[in-house]
Structure 1
Amino acid sequence: MTALPDWMRPPRAEGWFAEDLDHLPEAPRHTELVDGALVFMMSPQRSWHGRLVTALTTALMSQAPGGIEVEREMTIRLDARNRPEPGLLATRAPYDPDRTWYDPADVLLVVEVVSPESAHRDRTVKLRKYAEAGIPHYWCVEDEDGLPAVHVYELDIPTGAYAPAGIFRRTLERPVPFTIGLDLASLVPARIRQPGA
């Protein structure tokens, strides 16, 4: 067994804090902080996942009204010990080329595209944490036989928890956080069928 590189050792006895992520240039891309622990995307990302995030980002950018920015793979500083990195987000914060994270008060929508490695965090841990941080809209996108199924949640203000607002297949139309209309099937390439399959 090889020794851990020095950068993987927490800088203090209490572990990692949100601001530490900005000082880890050696860390792998897509490093998150969840409950004070560094979380790395260790398994290779599937092409389906990457293409879906790109297509969703492009589609939402084209539909977002002025004053709303759409970003992919940027962290949200939920609190001192949590800085997750969703697949994409919509925010009212103005564009800043030096930004490395967003404040949850500025985030309108978070979208996580579920992969086998992230399924538990996306479906339970992040669902709870984003709601506790007051982010009004959360989408969890699942792969159903190569097509996206979008599980949509809205923040219920009295309880501070997300309430399901629907599961969308083929098309998604939502009036919030801005008017959105998506042909979900067009977001990923059709699978090429082999003769006789």
Structure 2
Amino acid sequence: MSAALEHDPEPVDEPEYRWPIPPAEGWTADDLDRIPGLPPHTELIDGSLVFISPQTAFHGRCMRLLENRLLEQAPDHLDVMREMTVKLDSRNRPEPDVLVFPVDANTGPAQTWYEPEDIVLAVEVVSADSRERDREVKPRKYAAAGVRHLWRVEQDGDKGLPVVYVYELDPATRSYALTGIFHDRLKVSVPYDIDIDLTAIDRRPGA
């Protein structure tokens, strides 16, 4: 007697996802909390939704290293968090990879964004799909909104380690000045005393 043929289970019909249709004037910063079914870490740039590609190991480890070291060394009046949006204006709500801000800018567990004037430091770790936004678009918008310090982090092509480009806002021109490029070790005195071993990116916290 021949064995019965095995059949693949019947496909299960899943409801078709309907992408949100933007209004004629584009989305607003407040819409970001109201649009159903958005992927995690969706940003709003110039009234358009920006979806984030899957994270690389470098990106995730870099955020972990910077968040942990910034928090360890922060004075008591400052707090550190990763991947929270900043409402720059009604049409722009980007999500820096790491943020430093005053403790009293926290409003509670349901909070989803911060004011730009509260941001002491914004950190952007550059990904393949975000190079133009992280190198040009976001810095210009952060500066115009008055964010005082910005770090742009790139991966060194030879060592695979973080390279940190440190910028400080010129309040007269509302533009950033590059104050340093750091390999292997980042040591600065503003916005507070910070010393980070960038070669520790693959090291577990506390190791």
Q: TM-score, normalized by length of structure 1?
A: 0.89
- Give how far 1:7 is off: 4.8
Q: Which runs of 5+ in 1 are unaligned?
A: 190-197
Separation in structure 1 between the aligned mates of residue 26 and residue 18 of structure 2, nearest angstrom: 14
Shift, 1:14, TM fit: 1.2
Deviations 1:70-129 (A, max 9, x none): 010000000000000010110014332111000001000000000110111000000100
Q: Partners of 1:112 and 1:38 in 2: how far apart?
A: 18
Question: Post-superposition shift, 1:187?
Answer: 2.1
Segments ≥4 residues shifted beyond 6 Å: none
Q: Do structure 1's residue 45 and structure 2's residue 28 form an aligned pair?
A: no
Gaps of 5+ in 2: 1-15
- Match of 2:33, as an amino acid? D
Out of 119, 126, 130, the residue aligned to residue 114 of structure 1 is 126
RMSD of the alignment, in Å? 1.3
Q: Match of 1:195? A: none
Q: Tell me the CA shift for residue 157 of structure 1.
A: 1.2
Instruction: Please give the alpha-carbon distance, in whole angstroms, between the structure 1 residues aligned to 2:126 and 2:178.
Output: 17
1:5-58: CA deviation from partner (whole Å, max 9, x where unpaired): 445212x321100000111241001100000000001x3211111111011101
- Which residue of 2 is the match for residue 179 of structure 1? 193
Query: 1-side partners of 2:191 and 2:121: how far apart?
Result: 7
Q: Is the 8 A contact 1:7 1:24 kept in 2?
A: no
Does the 8 Å CA contact 1:57/1:70 hold for their aligned counterparts? Answer: yes
| Offset of residue 65 of structure 1 | 0.6
User: Which among 72, 79, 82 is matched to residue 89 of structure 2?
Assistant: 79
Which of 66, 75, 78 is residue 68 of structure 1 equivalent to?
A: 78
Equivalenced residue count is: 184
Match of 1:194 in 2: none
Identity %: 52
Name the amino acid aligned to 1:143: Q
Aligned to 1:30: 41
Distance in 1, Cα, partners of 2:143 & 2:46? 15
Q: How does 1:11-30 map to 2 (within 5 A)?
A: 12-30=23-41
State how far apart, in whole Å, the 2-side matches of 1:50 and 1:24 are.
26
Distance 1:93 1:18 in 2: 23
Which residue is equivalent to 2:202?
188
- Which residue pairs with 2:178 in the alignment? 164
* Structure 2 Cα separation of the partners of residues 51 and 100 of structure 1: 23
